Structure 1
């Protein structure tokens, strides 16, 4: 990788502030008249309608930015409404960070991974881009040269050229899954039981072009000529499922979301389609899960993107619930915001909708760092953030890989949707137990054969174990219906709250995984150390803060190192909000800072270190709305200090 250089922030800011209007109309006769511009600050549908009322043509809305075609008089009216206007090419003056991996370096990195781990990794050429660059996939499995009967998982990156951080994410995963094999038991087990595919650079032509000069080109599309100066087609609007429908792409060649002349008109989309179709065996798709990695917004999203509805033809309630359960678990792990893809904006003809809608692959989008747009980061954060922002997703990726054998297991319906020849159930004796902080509590699980032969079952516990606690159990049992004790041991430092402990059992004959779920409620030794305020408090729309208080008395001492704040805030656009916990002495603890992009409502638990704060006194939850046009309120919140 090239030597990392410091960004010239002053030069960047000056370049970003320069607006060079170039009318696309002459270059794109089909486009509306006027300049292609970005409008900032259109936080509501009413804002966007006001822009459209100026006569400007609204092309698309993405990441809080409205892309329009506008004549000079219309631009004046838009500015008069109070919105900031910039050119579509605003970011092209930003210096290229040589710390990002370009195409030759990506190929070299893949070759190095394969050379270092020849029994675990192989490089496969899956096709060629428009400019005849080899498009590659890295396969990772314990017997990599053999096409085994194992669930397959796909990670794809860099379908949009300027999203270079995604290449670093893909290469990090390939490196971690190979270098830690044999050392990390979790990775070893996953690599032994899965076939993992990683496409590090799906748009090699566009990515290389964007990195090919002293400054970025702000290139999103591929490099396929379209007859205009705004070269290329958006590959992620060129897939065949719902192509061209629903206002989720643009027919105009100069647009960043230009969908192409027809579905599959880009060679890159066709290559990916044909390769994914080649993974079918006997008509059954072997790829069970996929993640398409993007920037930015810090989001985890699932299908469908073409509609705001969740249950539609091609998506049953159980299928949607499975997507939501897995997506939410990943978001809880990496701190991203979960939601259906259309919650961000409508898209059509994208990879995720096609992979699920056409192939039945449980599919997700990751939108990586940063969580919101600013002129210094946006699509071009410094490459120095890559180590932190890739390792941040390690656990989420491993959790995702863990569901590949049966995604429906995430909603407890593995026996219904994933029957095995030698099958069994794993059943707890209780659905829930309660334990006082510092004590222990027992429940039992029993494995019983439902099909085929009896077998041994290996137990392990995953998911939401209470902090500062331990779970003990017998790891090897039989499918004989005998109950085996599971003990949850808490300590004085265990944070009170409600947790779901999942006991997984892996069968020795065929590897079927079945799960038992038990809700564990940990109550405080001193009930005075927790409180709830359920009074509704309206949040002033862009003009102030809402404050709700909880008075703690007779708790004594300081708060705990893993204090818990559970909040329910109802608001149509959580990106407008700052949420802060304020101690009795005035110390501020940020909980939410404009995350979540276009999604609505905050229903989350936050862990906060409060061991330096006296417990007794008035604690406040402050919610500040920094944009007008959306109204909401604090519904309820709970503070558990220790």
Structure 2
């Protein structure tokens, strides 16, 4: 890591204080800011949290009986009309500016705000991947699964003892940064790259994992959105992709509602192009999700999917989540009781190492068209979402100071090792009497 980045990480330590609540710039008619941050009271059940999410708000975090959301005046009014209490926390855009300016020095266009320079831009991430492939050419190869809407490569690093050869070893996939502003996840993928390449020669346990598996790491699923989120050296609070929505003035689709398994099936995403969880005009309308899906499809060799396990990293709330997201049933078509138990057992085992809360995805709230449901529903990949640090925090939750990067990425080392090891484990066999929630085996 460069001297500039080490200095940036040190500067970030000075910004640990929570943001002061700002006074919203009120809408003259409703009294709400253009984009307000609110605590929504009374969302203590999955059904209530799903109702809040269906309002099209941008769900920032969950804690106890409250959800932290970013909402427009219309969305806030809709929630109030449906009986939810909203506690204003501040004007979201003002809070973004305050978060970007907290180091008190001038921003640099194209880089993270002052104090957060230790986070990696897309160009810097690409450089780190190229360096890993160059310095560890015997165990690492760099390729691309395709290009983003704006033409950026979707870089993929493969780590294995014979990285240039397609062997019959079980494969593992790690993906990061589906949601643009979740920059800590890119650092998580870079941590995996650094740990397994640099540690290979000296750590027997890491060497064994590399020698017995093929590990794929994709640090930037949504590079266009991620770069836009730091445009002008200030945070934008951006979540989606950057492809314009046809027939609309809106830009961007939520990539994690754009996968084609149960896409737009169950009220777990929005039909409104302006909503934070807009599912897109069609499944795989976004070149980024389509490219990643085509890569996963390509790993079906001789009729068998080679990728056995997967983690998609997000922030925040400190959760380990597993399918299904589209239904609150523990089992459903294609997910037997034995398979559901394996998801829970492995999820709880990983959560025991990092202190996250393990639960089925729909226990938080219902989603549809997400990557975990697709990976399992189409390919039987044991696929998880990790919602990383912090547990809560509103605006600071999405933009934690760069000083936390080493600790919060290393926090998942043991869980990563568990997932890789699990790739070589035999899948459970359903008993003849085992049925899914709809009565099918």
Same fold (TM over 0.5): yes
2:57·2:276 contact (CA, 8 Å) conserved in 1? no
Aligned to 1:114: 133
- Deviation sequence 1:20-66 (CA, Å, 0-9, x none): 4689xxxxxxxxxx96544313242699979x99xxx9224732224
Q: 2:55 aligns with which of 50, 55, 58?
A: 58
The size of the alignment, in residue pairs, is 397
Aligned to 1:233: 253
Q: TM-score, normalised by structure 1?
A: 0.57
Structure 2 CA distance for partners of 1:80 and 1:308, relative to 1, 3 Å: closer
Q: 2:88 aligns with which of 61, 66, 84?
A: 84
Aligned to 2:219: 200
C-alpha distance in 2 between matches for 1:190 and 1:302: 23
C-alpha distance in 2 between matches for 1:306 and 1:90: 34
1:6 maps onto 2:12 in alignment: yes
Q: Which blocks of at least 5 consecutive residues in structure 2 are unaligned? A: 62-66, 101-112, 431-441
CA offset at residue 18 of structure 1?
4.7
2:181·2:239 contact (CA, 8 Å) conserved in 1? yes
Q: Superposition pairs for residues 243-282 of structure 1, below 5 Å?
A: 243-282=263-302
Q: Which blocks of at least 5 consecutive residues in structure 1 are unaligned? A: 24-33, 418-642
CA offset at residue 246 of structure 1?
1.4
C-alpha distance in 1 between matches for 2:171 and 2:47: 42
1:104 maps onto 2:130 in alignment: no
Q: 1:144 aligns with which of 163, 168, 181?
A: 163
Structure 2 CA distance for partners of 1:80 and 1:208, relative to 1, 3 Å: closer
- Deviation sequence 1:142-190 (CA, Å, 0-9, x none): 0011000100000000000100001111011111111111321111111
CA offset at residue 129 of structure 1?
0.1
C-alpha distance in 2 between matches for 1:92 and 1:328: 35
C-alpha distance in 1 between matches for 2:352 and 2:17: 37
2:154·2:221 contact (CA, 8 Å) conserved in 1? yes
2:41·2:85 contact (CA, 8 Å) conserved in 1? no
SS of the aligned residue for 1:39 comes to strand
SS of the aligned residue for 1:17 comes to coil
Higher strand share: 1
Structure 2 CA distance for partners of 1:336 and 1:81, relative to 1, 3 Å: closer
Q: Superposition pairs for residues 332-481 of structure 1, below 5 Å?
A: 332-375=352-395, 377-406=396-425, 408=427
Q: 1:305 aligns with which of 325, 330, 341?
A: 325
Higher helix share: 2
CA offset at residue 395 of structure 1?
1.1
Higher RCO (CA 8 Å, separation ≥ 6 residues) = 2
- Deviation sequence 1:463-520 (CA, Å, 0-9, x none): xxxxxxxxxxxxxxxxxxxxxxxxxxxxxxxxxxxxxxxxxxxxxxxxxxxxxxxxxx
C-alpha distance in 2 between matches for 1:328 and 1:18: 41
Structure 2 CA distance for partners of 1:229 and 1:162, relative to 1, 3 Å: farther
Aligned to 1:517: none
Aligned to 1:44: 43
Structure 2 CA distance for partners of 1:217 and 1:73, relative to 1, 3 Å: closer
CA offset at residue 335 of structure 1?
1.1
RMSD, matched Cα = 3.2
Task: Specify the structure having the higher radius of gyration (Cα).
Answer: 1
C-alpha distance in 2 between matches for 1:213 and 1:22: 26
C-alpha distance in 2 between matches for 1:114 and 1:186: 21
Q: TM-score, normalised by structure 2?
A: 0.82
C-alpha distance in 1 between matches for 2:249 and 2:117: 26
C-alpha distance in 2 between matches for 1:240 and 1:266: 11
Q: 2:152 aligns with which of 110, 120, 133?
A: 133
Structure 2 CA distance for partners of 1:172 and 1:11, relative to 1, 3 Å: closer
SS of the aligned residue for 1:139 comes to strand
C-alpha distance in 2 between matches for 1:114 and 1:314: 38
- Deviation sequence 1:243-286 (CA, Å, 0-9, x none): 11211111111111111111111010100111111111022111
1:42·1:65 contact (CA, 8 Å) conserved in 2? no
CA offset at residue 9 of structure 1?
5.0
SS of the aligned residue for 1:40 comes to strand
